[in-house]
Chain A
Amino acid sequence: NAGVTQTPKFRVLKTGQSMTLLCAQDMNHEYMYWYRQDPGMGLRLIHYSVGEGTTAKGEVPDGYNVSRLKKQNFLLGLESAAPSQTSVYFCASSPNLAGRYEQYFGPGTRLTVT
């Protein structure tokens, strides 16, 4: 039981390049989330999904797209990376309403955009 895994762990991109971050969970959770963590700002929600085939915007969605084609996977895409997207990205999942259950977090992906 791996919990929540994220691929890759580290990545360096040049401005304008694209990439996809993969999040996978093996706990059969309905809800999945993508956050970014920046110094002094805590974690901020980018996008989330309440089930396979559904996605919704969070607090800071601009410049990102997501897809949830399979229940266990949640992909975060950057179409044209910008230095402002340099951050640590965390994926999380929860069984149902996050209010009643804690979110389980992946180990994070450190992305640098030069």
Chain B
Amino acid sequence: AQKVTQAQTEISVVEKEDVTLDCVYETRDTTYYLFWYKQPPSGELVFLIRRNSFDEQNEISGRYSWNFQKSTSSFNFTITASQVVDSAVYFCALSEATGTASKLTFGTGTRLQVTL
């Protein structure tokens, strides 16, 4: 069975600090996909990134970066120079790539609070 663990329930930082959100996953599949979604206070879910299990390259998009390490089954998310607008709940999710429908297994989320 798949499992995603986000051990950090809530993180508070001051604006301009860097912050890393941890994600650890479990799967028996050799091919799988990992995702990060953002849920701002307005409630919608915003897709941030998808990574497949064959691509261990780190990804950088502006102030956001992701570190995927298969050896430790981790897919961590770093926000550099955080801003108040980054305040949200962030979800890590895992999808298997086999079967007729791949379903997302979500972690329980990390609430990030960025203050001035």
Q: Are A97 and B101 CB-contacts (below 8 A) given A88-B43, A102-B35, A107-B43?
A: yes
> Is B33 at the interface (CB under 8 A from chain A)?
yes
A31-52 with Cβ < 8 A to chain B: 31, 33, 40-45, 48, 50
Residues of B within 8 A of A61 (CB): none
Size range of the chain A interface in the assembly: 20 to 34
Is there an interface contact between B95 and A104, defined as CB atoms closer than 8 Å? no
- Residues of B at the A interface (CB closer than 8 Å) are 4, 9, 31-33, 35, 37, 43-45, 47, 50, 52, 91, 95-97, 100-104, 106-109
Top 8 A-B pairs, shortest CB-CB distance: A99-B102, A42-B106, A99-B97, A105-B45, A99-B95, A98-B102, A102-B47, A42-B108
- Residues of A at the B interface (CB closer than 8 Å) are 31, 33, 40-45, 48, 50, 56, 58, 88, 90, 92, 97-105, 107-108
